[in-house]
């Protein structure tokens, strides 16, 4: 089978293994722990694991490493499956669970005990830390390290039977307490957790650690290339030690790549959960969250996320990736694919004094300036309109290119108008602008040669629809919110969400489908909310502004 030239070091490894006959079929896996929603860093891991399998005609398993029941739930399992599917990937066969292998893992733990390679230890957590040593000093052997095989077998069976309290005993591998690699200093294989498991219920009261379970799960499933992020590099000798000392059915190999760390973002599941639990966001799928479901709800497309993962590449080094690269990817995608529409966020009424009361004129405009196949949209034009209040001034200098009293402007896809009067309330606030249409300017310049200053958007006051528009911005104001001495919560952006409850939109937008994208002209790219949007109550979320105002201003709203 021929393959395209490799584009990163992992593809080189796989290509060489196939060419040398070390493997016949590439089998990878994506192994999330179901203790939270997936985030943008997981999207990178998904693209690497599923992408390798796709590139080389292999297969990729979805396996939940569910060895920590106290922090896991079915909600997370369901959301992870949904995210993988939404990104456009399909795992091989059924969804797999580490918990399905609990009996086999226990049998292999007994094998290590029988070989004198594992023992039950009674040290408590504080004592175990003291015995473990430091990065510069070796550890020392546990006083329980030389228990007999028979005693260890008996104690492990009693641990499994629930005779001991949580934390009272653990099963440890007997490797080398003087190893320079801390992971090899008699690591824990099993700990007591009297907690119900979302898959196995109360069948088990001891649970394997990730380090013990992971490689053996890979072996059971015939994984050929176990791809991890770089923080697992120091765990690889332990991964290999278990494979070497157990009668596993296959010999997988672990490889590491640099994890994705976008700027202005937190990707720690613990910290993301804190944002949710503390009510600082409206849930795991809040559009400000870097979770895949949050980004989806904000309007990020699978194509943009996958393109971003491709843009940043797969390397052997960790580093911060400028989140502006992700924003570039979504702008590029939506600029090409999002239909255009008009929305007035800060409405100011304009009354056209020379336009017939009650008349509704259907104007036509392209849905996209460069994609004729997307067709035309109808814009009802009436005597009373809404424009954005920022698009009108009583007086302005020549640099101001919008509507000014006594001056002209073109209404987008419609007529040229000239403002001639206004109505104010008792406080001096402008309530209405009165203007007149310049004759014969639908698609034409004024016959008198006085051209308009600029072009502004508008919506019919009688035919348009009110909508709720949520204006989202980056959740954090600092490039590295979770680095340094200060609490990451200190950098929460107080302007990360502004809700406009009475925006005005083209009437057809009320019929938009949830998750349908639009460019609101001169405002940005928006998406109909996945859950809240409906014809009776349109709701749109700002995905991204038309330009990178953070880059232009050194921080600020899009």
pLDDT at 318: 85
The domains of the chain are located at 9-257, 269-340+467-553, 343-457
Six-digit token string for 118: 């594992």
Q: Give the active site residue among 71, 259, 271, 349.
A: 259
Average pLDDT, the chain: 95
Q: Are 556 and 550 in contact (CB under 8 A)?
A: yes
Q: Give the active site residue among 44, 96, 147, 269.
A: 269
Q: Are 272 and 40 in contact (CB under 8 A)?
A: no
**How many Cα atoms within 13 Å fall on the side-chain side of residue 505?**
28
3-state secondary structure of 425: coil
Distance CA 489, CA 323 (A): 19
Distance CA 83, CA 89 (A): 9
pLDDT band for position 21 (50/70/90)? Answer: very high
Q: What is the mean pLDDT of residues 42-69?
A: 97
C-alpha closest to that of 242 among 226, 258, 259, 229: 226
- How far are the Cα atoms of 200, 206, 247 from residue 67, in angstroms, in the given order? 11, 10, 21
Q: Are 30 and 91 in contact (CB under 8 A)?
A: yes
> What CATH number was assigned to the domain covering residues 343-457?
2.40.240.10
pLDDT in tens, 418-469: 999 999 999 999 999 999 999 999 999 999 999 998 999 999 999 999 999 9
pLDDT in tens, 408-417: 999 999 999 9
In sequence order, the 6+-apart residues with CB closer than 8 A to the CB of 426 are none
pLDDT at 550: 54
pLDDT in tens, 215-264: 999 999 999 999 999 999 999 999 999 999 999 999 999 999 999 999 99
Q: Determine which of 26-35, 121-130, 134-143, 312-321 has the lowest per-residue pLDDT on average.
A: 312-321
In sequence order, the 6+-apart residues with CB closer than 8 A to the CB of 329 are 304, 305, 307, 308, 311
Distance CA 412, CA 520 (A): 12
Percent of the chain with pLDDT over 70: 97
pLDDT in tens, 8-18: 899 999 999 99
In sequence order, the 6+-apart residues with CB closer than 8 A to the CB of 333 are 301, 303, 304, 307
3-state secondary structure of 451: coil
Residue 492, beta-bridge partner list: 476
pLDDT of 558 > 80? The answer is no
Distance CA 207, CA 66 (A): 9
pLDDT of 4 > 50? The answer is no
**How many Cα atoms within 13 Å fall on the side-chain side of residue 509?**
35
Six-digit token string for 192: 């007591």
3-state secondary structure of 357: coil
Distance CA 51, CA 45 (A): 9
Percent of the chain with pLDDT over 90: 94
End-to-end CA distance of the chain: 48
**CATH topology agreement for domains 269-340+467-553 and 343-457:** yes
Tokens 């095989």 locate to 149
**What does residue 262 show for φ and ψ, rounded to 5 degrees?**
-75, 150
C-alpha closest to that of 408 among 418, 396, 395, 421: 418
Six-digit token string for 275: 């944002």
3-state secondary structure of 364: strand
Tokens 């016959």 locate to 447
Alpha helices in 136-268 (DSSP H): 149-160, 210-221, 236-245
In sequence order, the 6+-apart residues with CB closer than 8 A to the CB of 274 are 489
Distance CA 174, CA 238 (A): 12
Distance CA 507, CA 221 (A): 54
Asked if 259 is an active-site residue, the reply is yes
pLDDT band for position 554 (50/70/90)? Answer: very low
Distance CA 109, CA 18 (A): 33
Asked if 269 is an active-site residue, the reply is yes
Give the fold, CATH level 3, of 269-340+467-553. Answer: Ribosomal Protein L25; Chain P (2.40.240)
pLDDT at 549: 64
Give the fold, CATH level 3, of 9-257. Answer: Rossmann fold (3.40.50)
If one counts every other C-beta atom within 10 angstroms of the C-beta of residue 90, the result is 11
Q: Are 301 and 43 in contact (CB under 8 A)?
A: no
Q: What is the mean pLDDT of residues 139-157?
A: 98
Tokens 């072996």 locate to 219
Distance CA 56, CA 224 (A): 12
In sequence order, the 6+-apart residues with CB closer than 8 A to the CB of 481 are 264, 265, 266, 488, 491
DSSP 492: B
pLDDT of 6 > 50? The answer is no
CA 351 to chain centre: 45
pLDDT of 552 > 60? The answer is no
pLDDT of 500 > 60? The answer is yes
């Amino acid at each position: 089978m021929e393959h395209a030239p490799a584009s990163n070091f992992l593809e080189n490894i796989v290509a060489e293994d196939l060419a040398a006959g070390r493997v016949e079929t590439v089998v990878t896996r994506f192994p999330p722990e179901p203790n939270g929603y997936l985030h943008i860093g997981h999207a990178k891991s998904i693209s690497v694991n599923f992408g390798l399998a796709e590139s080389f005609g292999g297969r990729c398993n979805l396996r939940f490493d569910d060895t920590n029941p106290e922090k896991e739930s079915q909600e997370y399992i369901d959301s992870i499956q949904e995210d993988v599917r939404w990104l456009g990937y399909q795992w091989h066969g059924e969804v797999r669970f580490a918990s399905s292998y609990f009996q086999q893992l226990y049998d292999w733990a007994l094998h290590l005990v029988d070989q004198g390679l594992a023992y039950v230890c009674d040290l408590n957590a504080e004592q175990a830390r003291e015995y473990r040593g430091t990065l510069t000093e070796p550890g020392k052997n546990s006083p329980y390290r030389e228990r007999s095989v028979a005693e260890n077998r008996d104690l492990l069976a009693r641990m499994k039977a629930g005779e001991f309290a949580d934390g009272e005993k653990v099963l440890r591998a007997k490797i080398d307490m003087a190893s320079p690699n801390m992971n090899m200093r008699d690591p824990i294989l099993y700990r007591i957790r009297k907690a119900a498991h979302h898959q196995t219920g109360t069948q088990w009261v001891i649970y394997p650690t990730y380090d013990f379970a992971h490689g053996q799960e890979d072996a059971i499933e015939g994984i050929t290339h176990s791809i991890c992020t770089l923080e697992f590099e120091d765990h690889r000798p332990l991964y290999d030690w278990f494979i070497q000392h157990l009668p596993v059915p296959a010999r997988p190999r672990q490889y590491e790549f640099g994890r994705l760390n976008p700027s202005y973002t937190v990707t720690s599941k613990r910290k993301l959960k804190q944002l949710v639990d503390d009510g600082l966001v409206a849930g795991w799928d809040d559009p400000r969250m870097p979770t895949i479901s949050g980004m989806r709800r904000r309007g990020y497309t699978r194509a943009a996320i996958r393109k971003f993962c491709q843009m940043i590449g797969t390397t052997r080094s960790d580093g911060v990736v400028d989140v502006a690269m992700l924003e570039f990817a979504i702008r590029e995608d939506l600029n090409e694919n999002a239909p255009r529409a008009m929305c007035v966020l800060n409405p100011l009424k304009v009354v056209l004094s020379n336009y017939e009361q009650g008349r509704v004129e259907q104007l036509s405009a392209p849905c996209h300036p460069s994609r004729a196949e997307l067709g035309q949209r109808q814009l009802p034009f009436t005597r009373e309109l809404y424009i954005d209040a920022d698009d009108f001034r009583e007086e302005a200098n020549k640099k101001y290119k919008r509507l000014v009293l006594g001056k002209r402007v073109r209404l987008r896809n419609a007529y040229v108008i000239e403002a001639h009067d206004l109505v104010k309330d008792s406080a001096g606030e402008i309530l209405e602008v009165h203007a007149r249409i310049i004759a014969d300017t639908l698609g034409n310049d004024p016959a008198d040669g006085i051209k308009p200053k600029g072009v502004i958007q508008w919506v019919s006051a009688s035919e348009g629809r009110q909508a709720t528009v949520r204006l989202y911005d980056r959740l954090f104001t600092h490039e590295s919110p979770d680095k340094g001495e200060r609490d990451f919560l200190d950098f929460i952006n107080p302007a990360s969400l502004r809700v406009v409850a009475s925006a005005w939109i083209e009437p057809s937008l009320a019929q938009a489908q949830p998750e349908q994208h639009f460019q609101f002209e001169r405002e940005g790219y928006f998406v109909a909310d996945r859950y809240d949007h409906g014809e009776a109550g349109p709701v749109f979320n700002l995905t991204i502004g038309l330009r990178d105002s953070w880059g232009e201003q050194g921080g600020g709203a899009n």
